[in-house]
Amino acid sequence: MNPDFTQQVSATVDQIRQDGLFKSERRLLTPQSAHIRTPSGEALNFCANNYLGLADHPDVISAARSALDEWGFGMASVRFICGTQELHKQLEARIAELVGTQDAILYSSCFDANGGVFEVLFEAGDAIISDELNHASIIDGVRLSKADRYRYRNRDLEDLRTQLEAAKGARRIVIVTDGVFSMDGSYAPLEGICDLADEYGALVLVDDSHAVGFVGENGRGTHEYCGVLERVDLITGTLGKALGGASGGYVAGASEVVELLRQRSRPYLFSNAVAPSVAAGSLAAIELALGGSEQRQTLRRNAELFRSLMDEAGFELLPGSHPIVPVMFPGEDGARQASQIADSMLERGVYVIAFSFPVVPRGKARIRVQLSAAHSEQDVQTCVKAFIQARDEVV
Ligand SMILES: *Cc1c(COP(=O)(O)O)cnc(C)c1O
């Protein structure tokens, strides 16, 4: 051990603590679910991305369990050496069908999918135009590409046009956006983005991690919700949220594009294949999502009920319809209020998370509530009651 090194590191961690940015991890003693148990007791969970309640669904668990018996525990190989089973091909085909593209390529995570897509498809002389609030994995993936980078203000089509003007003359231009922005629960204006892409001869890439499986009439994603199903060139997304919540990500698009990614994309080529049980469980989750209009309706109803009860109780919400519902605590004292209300709610058995600067802009502290189809009406009412009681105690 080098004592100077560990002392320096420990000073950095202390600084993180002093800045109030230290992230501690709560331990769950149960599967991920609407009702969980932690060392401090039972809790209603309103902070997982378990939108359809599939993380502990019996069909998903049993598909994963059978795959363990039939296909073994792990692949011990990357895909192109000896890591491809029937399951992986099936899963890729099913993802492509779900999101409406010709093909899809599987990664260990969406972080890897975003890390592996830009470098291959966009080179020096190309231009990548990215929404300022895009996910960290997009930012990192774009950094690996030698293309010129442009940034536009969140969901701002005027500014996007300005950046498209600035990028004119590039060989390839791609507009990159999250389908849903996770801190606000807002949708990217995909119709306007696709119109501008047509006007400027640009491509569109959407990361639909917070939408795939449950947003849109048939749960196909933000492009379905926005009426641009055929107009998005590249879609990335995760299996780690609504679609069972285990792990895995993908890039979906034209078969030629997927073929090239299989040849050149580094996180695909040099990282292990997704475990068979995870592939099988994810396949089962996609089946449930495809046939899951009932769960989508329940999810929608829960989000509407929560929004209307919170409105009535005088809380300030960011408007919208996504099951991510930010409850805002603006102003100088907002960060303290949000964090104390979240703590007080956990003592009442309701688990929500407060976010403040630098995760969200200064003065825009919030508690982000995430509804699930696994919540009952009663669960939603309990959550609202806890909000009201905690506010009375803290504010
Ligand atoms: C969650 C998320 C990711 C990361 O997905 P993983 O599969 O967990 O790596 C990437 N992009 C967006 C927009 C996300 O919300």
Confidence (pLDDT) at 19: 87
Tokens, residue 334:
């907002």
Give the start-to-end residue ranges of the domains of the chain.
Answer: 27-52+293-394, 58-290
> What is the set of active-site residues?
182, 210, 241
| 395: pLDDT strictly greater than 90 | no
Give the number of the atom of ligand 1 that is nearest the alpha carbon of residue 178: 13
Closest C-alpha among 389, 333, 340, 342 to residue 364: 333
Are 324 and 368 in contact, with CB atoms under 8 Å apart? yes
Query: Atom 5 (ligand 1): residue with closest C-alpha?
Result: 110
Confidence (pLDDT) at 40: 86
Q: What is the CATH number of domain 27-52+293-394?
A: 3.90.1150.10
Give the C-alpha separation, 384 to 303, whole Å.
12
Tens of pLDDT, residue by residue over 112-139, are 999 999 999 999 999 999 999 999 999 9
Does the beta carbon of 240 sit less than 6 angstroms from any atom of ligand 1?
A: yes
**Average predicted confidence (pLDDT) for the chain:** 97
Say whether 58-290 and 27-52+293-394 share the same fold.
no
Confidence (pLDDT) at 1: 79
Q: Where are the beta strands (DSSP E) in 155-275?
A: 173-178, 180-181, 186-187, 203-207, 234-238, 249-253
Ligand 1 site-directed mutation target among 110, 118, 322, most atoms within 8 Å of CB: 110
Does the beta carbon of 295 sit less than 6 angstroms from any atom of ligand 1?
A: no
Tens of pLDDT, residue by residue over 151-175, are 999 999 999 999 999 999 999 999 9
Mean pLDDT to the nearest integer, 367-381: 98
Give the number of the atom of ligand 1 that is nearest the alpha carbon of residue 238: 7
Q: Residues 6 or more apart from 344 whose CB is under 8 A from it?
A: 389, 390, 393, 394
Does the beta carbon of 110 sit less than 6 angstroms from any atom of ligand 1?
A: yes
Predicted TM-score (pTM) of this structure: 0.97
| 71: pLDDT strictly greater than 90 | yes
Does the beta carbon of 238 sit less than 6 angstroms from any atom of ligand 1?
A: yes
Does the beta carbon of 267 sit less than 6 angstroms from any atom of ligand 1?
A: no
Tens of pLDDT, residue by residue over 266-281, are 999 999 999 999 999 9
Q: What is the CATH number of domain 58-290?
A: 3.40.640.10
Ligand 1 site-directed mutation target among 118, 133, 137, 184, most atoms within 8 Å of CB: 137
- Return the minimum-mean-pLDDT range out of 36-40, 61-65, 153-157, 251-255: 36-40
| 207: pLDDT strictly greater than 90 | yes
Q: What are phi and psi of 226, to 5 degrees?
A: -90, 0
Q: Residues 6 or more apart from 184 whose CB is under 8 A from it?
A: 133, 318, 320, 324, 326
Confidence (pLDDT) at 87: 98
Tens of pLDDT, residue by residue over 210-259, are 999 999 999 999 999 999 999 999 999 999 999 999 999 999 999 999 99
| Rounded distance from Cα 358 to ligand 1 centre (Å) | 19
If one counts every other C-beta atom within 10 angstroms of the C-beta of residue 327, the result is 23
Does the beta carbon of 249 sit less than 6 angstroms from any atom of ligand 1?
A: yes
Mean pLDDT to the nearest integer, 313-337: 96
